[in-house]
Amino acid sequence: MFSTLGYLSLITYTPDSVSPCATNGSSYRYRFFFLTGQGGYGTTGSPNDYREFLSPNMAAASQSTSPQGDKIDTVLFGTGAMRQEPTPRTLHPIEGNWKEQQ
């Protein structure tokens, strides 16, 4: 689970088969705003407000920070594909030592 601008996200994978060797299934990303519990994908009152279909294969997520201080949410798919979503932050870290800012 990780947070981007107050939205908590996690990736799930549900296999279509009970075989441990099978790779077919569904990957979803669930997202909600931590303060209100509102879904991250809509306001219709349905489960789809909280989840986004990602892939019929396995998917994994990570989060990193760019040199400019922006958050980058990355989804890696079982096919080798990758999707990155930069999210500009409203607050940027101070790059230098705080004593240099006086």
Pairing of strands 25-33, 51-55: antiparallel
The mean predicted confidence, pLDDT, of the chain is: 79
User: Which residues 6+ apart lie within 8 Å of 62 measured at CB?
Assistant: 2, 73, 74, 76
Helices (H) and strands (E) in the chain, counts: 0, 7
The total number of structural domains in the chain stands at: 1
Tell whether 101 is covered by a domain. no
Pairing of strands 7-15, 2-4: antiparallel
Tell whether 102 is covered by a domain. no
Of 71, 75, 72, 67, nearest in space to 29 by CA: 75
Of 37, 70, 41, 36, nearest in space to 54 by CA: 41
Mean pLDDT of 69-85: 84
Tell whether 20 is covered by a domain. yes
Distance CA 54, CA 74 (A): 12
Tell whether 85 is covered by a domain. yes
- Predicted confidence band at 44 (pLDDT cuts at 50, 70, 90)? confident
The reported pLDDT for the residue numbered 88 is 59
Is a pLDDT exceeding 70 seen at residue 7?
Answer: yes
Tell whether 14 is covered by a domain. yes
Tell whether 100 is covered by a domain. no
Structural domain for 63, as ranges: 2-93
Tell whether 99 is covered by a domain. no
Tell whether 98 is covered by a domain. no
Is a pLDDT exceeding 50 seen at residue 76?
Answer: yes
